């Protein structure tokens, strides 16, 4: 399995909850015609198509590096919305894009200063960038997984070096993103930290949530049998940390940032 091998159906299990920050991100986009837009890390494509309709985009391109996600996304393609495979960490364009959109994808990529420089360089005069990243590396849903990966038999199976949490490794503080937007020439900006108060059916649902996202880094490097054991041990350890609740309150912290270049 490669990091690109995502499971669209697992990811969609919490589609409504995952859509909330996306809709908030779209609400930050300012007025003005959007002839060309790109959704970096488009996933299964439903939200890309929604964005194109909501913002009256003439041409929307959704990019992802997962063949499985793109196979799902192509079902939503039409004359206005197209999808293609690309490494979003190295993507840029020749200053002709009116909107760069990236929801819950930038956290997988290191060196956000360099990546945002490339993305903003793609903007046309007056162009806008809107990005959302999780900022919850301190939560038990993440810390329990990292602690478990440092125990046997997982530590040996992972070669003594478990994969780092990309949210902990890559995501900056809100004020750092604000500084970057200023340094990269945005004349307007909005950056905020927001907590989404999700209510799940029970505490075990947290396992299903993270199985579709942060736990994929362990699935990549463990055998299928050992990964299933990891999931079972993770659930036990997580419930010990957060309690076995029905329903389960699952606060999720995210950073939303938006900037507009001079016209």
N- to C-terminal Cα distance for the chain?
Answer: 44
What is the rounded CA–CA span in Å between residue 218 and residue 220?
5
pLDDT over 70 (residue 10): no
Structural domain that includes position 114 = 1-135+171-199+252-263
pLDDT over 80 (residue 2): no
Which residue's entry shows tokens 């793109």?
70
Q: Are residues 156 and 228 in the same domain?
A: yes
Q: Are residues 145 and 72 in the same domain?
A: no
163: which 2 tokens?
Answer: 């994969």
Q: What is the pTM of this model?
A: 0.92
Q: Are residues 89 and 130 in the same domain?
A: yes
Mean pLDDT, rounded, for 115-120: 98
102-123 b/e (C-beta count within 10 Å ≥ 16 → b): bbbbbbbbeebeebbeebbbbb
Closest CA to 230 of 153, 139, 140: 153
Q: Are residues 55 and 181 in the same domain?
A: yes
Q: Are residues 177 and 233 in the same domain?
A: no
Structure confidence at residue 120 as a pLDDT band (50, 70, 90): very high
């Amino acid at each position: 399995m490669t990091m690109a091998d995502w499971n669209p159906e697992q990811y969609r299990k919490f589609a409504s909850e995952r859509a909330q920050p996306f809709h908030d991100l779209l609400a930050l986009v300012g007025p003005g015609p959007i002839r060309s837009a790109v959704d970096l890390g488009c996933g299964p494509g439903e939200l890309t198509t929604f964005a194109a309709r909501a913002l009256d985009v003439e041409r929307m391109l959704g990019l992802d590096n997962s063949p499985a996600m793109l196979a799902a996304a192509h079902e939503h393609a039409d004359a206005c919305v197209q999808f293609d495979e690309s490494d979003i960490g190295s993507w840029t364009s020749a200053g002709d894009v009116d909107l760069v959109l990236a929801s819950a994808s930038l956290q997988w990529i290191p060196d956000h200063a360099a990546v945002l420089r490339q993305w903003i360089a793609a903007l046309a005069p007056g162009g806008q960038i809107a990005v959302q990243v999780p900022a919850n590396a301190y939560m038990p849903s993440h810390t329990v997984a990292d602690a478990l990966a440092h125990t046997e038999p997982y530590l040996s199976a992972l070669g003594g070096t478990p994969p780092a949490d990309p949210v902990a490794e890559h995501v900056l503080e809100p004020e750092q993103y604000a500084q970057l937007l200023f340094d990269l020439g945005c004349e307007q900006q909005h950056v905020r930290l927001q907590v989404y108060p999700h209510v799940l059916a029970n505490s075990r649902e947290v396992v299903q949530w993270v199985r579709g996202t942060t736990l994929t880094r362990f699935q990549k490097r463990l055998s299928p049998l050992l990964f299933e054991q990891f999931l079972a041990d993770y659930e036990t350890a997580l419930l010990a940390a957060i309690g076995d609740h029905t329903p389960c309150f699952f606060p999720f912290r995210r950073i939303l940032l938006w900037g507009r270049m001079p016209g």
